[in-house]
Structure 1
Amino acid sequence: MPSNHLFFYFNDDLKISEHWVVNGTNYGKTSEAWLSNMDRHKKDHADFSQHLWQSRGRKMVGILAFVLYGLC
């Protein structure tokens, strides 16, 4: 989730006309659902990772781990 004040760092390029705070509850629910789905399909991800390792090498698997699990 972006920082509450992220866009204020770009005052030279953006003009903020309105600003409000979102508590992040929906973001948290979405993240939990995404993680639960990833856990349910862990074998599929492992099979895909193995395929990438064999066809593209270690670099691609590292990128996949970062995208899927945020491990790198």
Structure 2
Amino acid sequence: MSNITPNVVAYCAQECAWQYSGEMSVAHMIEGWRYAHRYRNKPIKLRDILAMGRIVEPEQNHRGLRRRGDRK
């Protein structure tokens, strides 16, 4: 049974529209939803965060964690 309902697709599409990120981002976000749903009963680990980053934004997160400067 799929956990991807029309409401999930609509949510992902709306979120990506707000971010002006395009259709592929919707597909990536839905894949991220599937990943999260598959492991929903387990504690979140660093490997899950890294995996979801690669799923949702593969180009930006292909090397793992990104470094950002401190905000002041």
Which structure has more relative contact order (CA 8 Å, sep 6+)? It is 2
- The structure that is helix-richer by fraction is 1
TM-score (norm 2): 0.30
